[in-house]
């Protein structure tokens, strides 16, 4: 890696990219993968068949460019989200990361800044840097929550042009109140800040947890970002999307690459949305395993962040790296997210969760502080 970085350093890179490492979690061949918040249940057989059939039909027209406006897909996404949304309110791209990149290309850039509240999704500063947008950070409470007043004050003080609010937050799993979103939105008025609520894990929220979709009417600078990677078990399909005022989608058309969503991607996503009830059937079981993890880790004497996502952040570890390695040696891969004394685990199937918990308990006692 040192030689690779030295060779890279000899190229005329932009200054803000020098010394950086690319984003990426370890990709290891182990029996139980609980490190990148994938849906470990996979795609049901009948939905796989429907997707294959849809893709097969799309393949017959691959000599032609796909629908540049992905109209049918936007209609299906609007129907899925509800809240009175129409296709005009929807934008989509190759994963929610590309959606966020489009937003920064349109509303960020040189001379502008984006604000995030770490610990949060580690791609935010990388996406900002790749678009020449300065990245500034706000603060969270000790329990990883955001206080509406202090968050709004930081938005106003920084004058940020783009604000990232992640709910449920990755890597902590904590959800935002609507008060936080509303006050942050109002605080960005002077800078005309674009407020992004990243709801990649929204389908896993506890019953009664509100979505920022409810706040969209009358807020033309508010964006709610979603993905089909998690609850829909389609991480390999790479389809992210957003809901916002129609003029937001109009702005993103100025920066997207031509025909950026392939015919195969569109066909896959439409087929999946047509069978959304089947793809989402395992969400409640994943939530049950998540809550089981929270309960059992708390019983082990660990500190556990309340989670509205499909993962759990836990702390109180004297040597988290040794625990991570011990789990890996047993065939269980989880994530070290860089928060001192903490690790993060995805909620998997009942069997995967049981193996994780049993292995962790065998490792944890001497590591609990």
Q: What pLDDT digit, counting tens, does each position of 160-173 carry?
A: 999 999 999 999 99
Side-chain-side CA neighbours of residue 226 (13 Å): 22
Kindly state the average pLDDT of the residues 251-260. Answer: 97
- What local confidence, expressed as pLDDT, does residue 25 receive? 75
Cα separation, 260 vs 257, in Å, equals 5
pLDDT of residue 1: 59
Q: What is the pLDDT of residues 205-220, one digit of tens each?
A: 999 999 999 999 999 9
Question: Is pTM, for the whole model, over 0.75?
Answer: yes
Residue in this structure with the two tokens 């005309």, named with its chain if needed? 192
Structural domain containing residue 197 = 45-276
Query: What is the reported pLDDT for 366?
Result: 55
339: pLDDT strictly greater than 70: yes
Q: Quick check: is 11 in a domain?
A: no
Bridge pairing between strands 194-198 and 222-227:
parallel
Read off the pLDDT of each residue in 276-287 and give the average, rounded to a whole number: 96
Q: Judge if 250 and 359 occupy the same domain.
A: no
Query: How do strand 90-93 and strand 240-244 relate by DSSP bridges?
Result: antiparallel
DSSP string, 122-134: THHHHHHHHTT-E
- Does residue 75 share a domain with residue 165? yes
90-93/32-33 β-pairing: unpaired
Residues in the chain, overall count: 369
Question: Do 199 and 320 fall within a single domain?
Answer: no
Same domain, 243 and 223: yes
Does residue 264 sit in the same domain as residue 324? no
The total of other beta-carbon atoms located within 10 Å of residue 1's CB is: 6
Whether 67 and 183 map to the same domain: the answer is yes
Radius of gyration of the chain (CA): 21
State both tokens at 287.
């939530």
**Rounded percentage of the chain residues whose pLDDT exceeds 70:** 99
Could you tell me if 98 and 237 lie in one domain? yes
Structural domain count of the chain: 2
- Residues 6+ away with beta carbon under 8 Å from 113: 133, 134, 135, 136, 158, 159, 160, 161, 162
Q: Are residues 264 and 294 in the same domain?
A: no
Q: Are residues 30 and 55 in the same domain?
A: no
Average pLDDT on 6-32 reads 85
153 domain residue, yes or no? yes
- State how far the Cα of 294 lies from the Cα of 313, in Å rounded to an integer: 9
Q: What is the mean pLDDT of the chain?
A: 95
Asked if 204 and 142 sit in the same domain, the reply is yes
CATH number at residue 341: 3.90.1150.10
Query: In whole angstroms, how far apart are CA 137 and each of 60, 154, 159, 366?
Result: 48, 9, 12, 35
pLDDT digits (tens, 9 = 90+) for 297-336: 999 999 999 999 999 999 999 999 999 999 999 999 999 9
CATH number of 69's domain: 3.40.640.10
Query: Last residue of some domain: 276, 309, 330?
Result: 276
Residue 72 falls inside a structural domain? yes
pLDDT tens digit sequence for 87-108: 999 999 999 999 999 999 999 9
Check: CB of residue 39 under 8 Å from CB of residue 257: no
Query: Do 287 and 356 fall into the same domain?
Result: yes
Question: Which of residues 38 and 25 earns the better pLDDT score?
Answer: 38
Residue at a domain's end among 276, 299, 325: 276
Could you tell me if residue 20 is inside a domain?
no
Q: Are 130 and 101 in contact (CB under 8 A)?
A: yes
Domain termination residue (choose one: 218, 253, 276): 276
Classify residue 18: in a domain, yes or no. Answer: no
In a domain, 15, yes or no: no
Examine residue 10 and state whether it is found in any structural domain, yes or no: no
Give the span between the Cα atoms of 294 and 314, in whole angstroms: 8
Q: Is 135 exposed, middle or buried (0-12, 13-18, 19+ CB in 10 A)?
A: buried
Instruction: Examine the domain organization and report whether 53 and 155 are in the same domain.
Output: yes
The answer to the question of residue 17 being in a domain is no
């Amino acid at each position: 890696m040192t030689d690779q970085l030295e060779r890279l350093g000899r190229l005329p890179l932009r200054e803000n990219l020098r010394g950086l490492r690319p984003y990426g979690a370890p990709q290891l061949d182990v029996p139980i993968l609980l490190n990148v918040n994938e849906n470990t249940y996979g795609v049901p057989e009948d939905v796989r068949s429907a997707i294959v059939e849809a893709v097969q039909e799309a393949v017959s027209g691959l000599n032609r460019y796909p629908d540049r406006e992905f109209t049918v897909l936007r209609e299906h996404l609007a129907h899925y989200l509800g809240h009175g949304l129409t296709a005009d309110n929807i934008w989509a791209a190759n994963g929610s990361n590309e959606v966020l990149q489009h937003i920064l290309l349109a509303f960020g850039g040189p001379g502008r800044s984006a604000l995030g509240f770490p610990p949060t999704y580690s791609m935010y500063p990388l996406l900002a840097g790749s678009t020449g947008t300065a990245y500034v950070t706000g603060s969270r409470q000790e329990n990883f929550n955001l206080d509406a007043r202090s968050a709004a004050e930081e938005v106003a003080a920084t004058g940020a042009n783009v604000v990232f609010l992640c709910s449920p937050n990755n890597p902590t799993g904590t959800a935002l109140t609507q008060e936080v979103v509303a006050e942050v939105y109002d605080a960005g008025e002077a800078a005309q800040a674009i407020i992004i609520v990243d709801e990649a894990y929204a389908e896993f929220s506890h019953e009664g947890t509100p979505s920022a979709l409810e706040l969209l009417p009358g807020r033309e600078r508010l964006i709610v970002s979603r993905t089909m990677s998690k609850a829909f078990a389609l991480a390999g399909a790479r389809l992210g999307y957003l809901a916002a005022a129609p003029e937001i989608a109009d702005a993103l058309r100025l920066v997207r690459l031509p025909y950026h969503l392939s015919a195969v991607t569109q066909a896959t996503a439409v087929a999946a949305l047509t069978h959304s009830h089947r793809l989402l059937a395992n969400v409640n079981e994943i939530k049950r395993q998540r809550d089981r993890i929270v309960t059992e880790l708390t019983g082990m004497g660990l500190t556990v962040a309340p989670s509205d996502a499909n993962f759990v952040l836990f702390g109180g570890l004297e040597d988290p790296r040794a625990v991570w390695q011990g789990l890996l040696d047993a065939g269980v891969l989880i994530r070290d997210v860089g928060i001192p004394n903490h690790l993060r685990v995805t909620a998997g199937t009942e069997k995967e969760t049981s193996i994780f918990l049993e292995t962790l308990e065998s490792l944890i006692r001497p590591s609990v502080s």
